Chains A and B, each alone.
Chain A
Amino acid sequence: MATTQEAKTGGSTLEGLRASSWSSRIAVAIIAALTVLLLVQAVREPGQFTSQLLIGLTNGAIIALIALGYTLVYGIIELINFAHGDNFMIGSFVGVTVLSGTFLGLGFFAPIDASSGAALKVFGVLFALVVAMVVCGLVNVGIERVAYKPLRNSPRLAVLITAIGMSFILQNVGLAWKDASQIPFPSLVSNANILAGVTDEVTFRWKDLFVLAVTVPLLVALSYFIRSTKQGKAMRAVAQDKEAAAMMGINVNRTISVAFLLGGILAGASGVMFGLFNGTTVFDVGLRQGLFAFTAAVLGGIGNLTGAVVGGILIGIIGSMTDQYIGVRWTDIVIFTVLILVLVFRPRGLLGDRSAVQGGGGE
């Protein structure tokens, strides 16, 4: 795992070298220095390093699912859906509500928690995931209909301001729903180390496996949808050229709604997993997590689905490495710095799709 990761970083730096301006050379030097430092750590304490890498991978998977929502929407209507992170928060709230079995004061079933039977736990988690995915998908579509659709021909900043407004509205819905304190999630997925019998040095918990086991099928399904279904083809067409797509008989409005629906579904799944993985959620988690995911989307190349996944995993790993080797309190600063550096020096991201530099659209 460690070696493939380094190889990946190495590949992108080589690509950067070809562009060969002074800023890219400095960037290459810095990335190389950091990689060497990380490798030194990897050699010194391989167990710890690998464990951190795996945690980063899991966190990255959660971030990647949110990042896909940003990238899907941006790819089609070039809007930074600022409310997306808060939709993710709503997803985690829906998840914890479903698991509690009580909604609006009505008890539907007994809360599913650590003491429930194994079958009930599996059912509970799946049920929470599905409900959250449906709710978040619909919320996202609703937001698009109410807030973004009327502004489709307005200046870009007007829509962005609307999105910020929606973000605060959702945040306060969360605040009214669950109050400002941290909300504990029942620990349904075991914290135990899978590799306990094999090696003591590397930690890979059932939790981590759970996140990957949910994420990978979702990614496969999304990829199938975009590549192979008629609606997916329509999405790609609209992303390329709205007017031409409309002339070919594609319902542009419906396609945009589908993009929001897909983004919301992934955010909902991500929200529930985030809660189960970290054991807690809070009403304003969306801003931080949303910015992380946006960073991931930009890092991979916004509008580019593979890029969002790669970016998500990279951000997860950068975050876990910072946690370990610099300090948890600096993680936010490091990742926001990555966001700024990428936007300023390489706005089309590692894999590149749509240029963010004015006049450089290339389409």
Chain B
Amino acid sequence: MASPGASLKRFGLPAGLILLALLFPFINEVLGANLMFPVIVVAVYVMLALGLNIVVGFAGLLDLGFVAFYALGAYVVGWFASTHFSGVNFSFLSALPTSGSLPGIHVSFWVLLLAAGAFAAFWGVIIGAPTLRLRGDYLAIVTLGFGEIIPRFFVNGDDIFGYNLTNGTVGIKGIDSPGIPFVPSRGWQQFGTLDLNPWYYTILVLVLVTVFVNIRLRDSRLGRAWIAVREDETAAAAMGVNLVTTKLWAYALGATFGGFAGAFYGAFIKSIFPTSFSFNVSVLILCMVVLGGMGNIYGVILGAIILQGTNFYLLPQINIWVHDIGTALSSPFLANVDIPKYNYFLFGAILVAMMLLRPEGIIPNRQRQEELREGDEDDSATEITGAT
């Protein structure tokens, strides 16, 4: 704040980025780039990565089952904004003009968004509460266990004592579109599949809210408690930090953003399948956080953009190049190789390379950097034995 340069950095850069984000649909239209769909999906992953960043980056708890909250959020929208429960006929503020006459439950997306966040947070606490006394690596495995159980439950959920709760591998289809009543534009009254602008601005607002909440959390009393717990649990407890509530808040808040992202994604894609919530997704999100820089909000956003950009744009592009080279060299192997299929090789390699070479990520959080580099010097006895 002192110098104009600092305040420019503090307010100018974010303001510029927000302006760019606001104008993006127009830029996209002028350039004819047709990037709306991938950008919306990237934004969903930015939210997920920011959610995981609270758990992994701020509180230092490795969560390998984050996809579970994403899935729970998506299923909340799937259950309560589709014809799935065809035995019931219930409608609440739904954007669908005919919702009253349709079977199933149709609740307004905005209500469900909040419900999805709350539901995910609830499960975050359920998962977190019994596991928090475990040491870091065991905690990671327990979260992985939950992350595996929940999608499998959704797969098997078409026959729970004969009741079809989740429609199994077929998934839930025909999820209602959100809509904002009382606006003149029809495209906003019920979001359509052709005009993606309403979707874009919705997720943009969600991402901005997420970023804002993250920044405020990081600088709050709770955020400082997270950092204290991450650095040294015993010292933090001795200083009066309540370990259990502090960690539970991290779980619950991280899960909330996972739930929001899932709810939006479910409504946007309109159909959800349990197979889209596999362990791979958890690792992809973790990779975003690690690549960008654990604990650094801007780093995590950058990580999400880089990795999803790689998924959507870079790998298909490389694939085309390799195919061209293969055709030119008349090598059938190169001409037919399917490079995007091996994207997780890249993500695995990124995890290994980052941990070996730059564990603090592209844009490091300074405190985190110190912690991760600390082991390079001598005193590592506490880390090896895990004793506290």
Q: List residues of chain A with CB under 8 Å of any chain B CB.
A: 78-80, 147, 150-162, 164-169, 171-173, 175-176, 180, 242, 287, 291, 294, 298, 329-330, 332-333, 336-337, 339-340, 343-345, 347, 356-359, 361, 363
Contact = CB atoms under 8 A, between A and B. Distances in A.
Interface string B124-152: 00000011011111101110111011001
Given A78-B384, A164-B64, A333-B156, 15 more contacts: A156-B386, A157-B60, A157-B136, A160-B136, A161-B290, A161-B351, A162-B356, A164-B286, A165-B348, A175-B345, A242-B384, A330-B156, A357-B133, A357-B134, A363-B385
Contacts of A298: 141
The majority secondary structure among interface residues of chain A is helix
Contacts, number: 159
Nearest to A242: B384
Interface stretch (B34-42, B179-187, B368-376): B368-376
A155 B383 contact: yes
B135 A172 contact: no
A343 B134 contact: yes
Contacts of A356: 134-135, 138
Nearest to A79: B137
Nearest to A243: B381
B359 A339 contact: no
16 contacts: A80-B141, A151-B356, A154-B383, A155-B375, A155-B383, A161-B286, A162-B355, A162-B356, A164-B348, A165-B349, A168-B344, A171-B344, A172-B342, A337-B145, A347-B138, A359-B387
Given A291-B144, A340-B146, A154 B359 contact: yes
A168 B345 contact: yes
Nearest to B133: A357
A154 to B, nearest CB: 4
B129 to A, nearest CB: 10
B383 A153 contact: yes
B283 A164 contact: yes
B162 to A, nearest CB: 13
B141 A172 contact: no
By Cβ-Cβ distance, the 6 closest A-B pairs, closest first, are A168-B348, A165-B351, A172-B345, A165-B352, A153-B380, A169-B348
Contacts of B290: 161
**Chain B's interface: helix, strand, loop or mixed, by majority?**
helix
Interface residues of B, number: 54
A105 B135 CA distance: 48
A356 B387 CA distance: 10
Contacts of B388: 358-359
B313 to A, nearest CB: 20
A169 B342 CA distance: 9
B139 to A, nearest CB: 8
Interface of B: 60, 62, 64, 130-131, 133-138, 140-142, 144-146, 148-149, 152-153, 155-156, 233-234, 279, 283, 286, 290, 341-342, 344-345, 347-353, 355-356, 359, 371-372, 375-376, 380, 383-388
A155 B135 CA distance: 12
A345 B371 CA distance: 30
Contacts of B353: 165
B342 A176 contact: yes
A242 to B, nearest CB: 7
B141 A343 contact: yes
B153 A161 contact: no
B137 to A, nearest CB: 5
Nearest to B350: A165
A361 B137 contact: no
Given A153-B383, A161-B62, A330-B156, A175 B133 contact: no
A158 B359 CA distance: 7
Contacts of B234: 359
A361 B133 CA distance: 13
A339 B138 CA distance: 10
B386 A333 contact: no
B348 A344 contact: no
Given A155-B371, A171-B344, A291-B144, A147 B352 contact: yes
A151 B146 CA distance: 28
Contacts of A167: 348
Contacts of B355: 151, 154, 158-159, 161-162, 165
Given A344-B131, A356-B135, A294 B233 contact: no
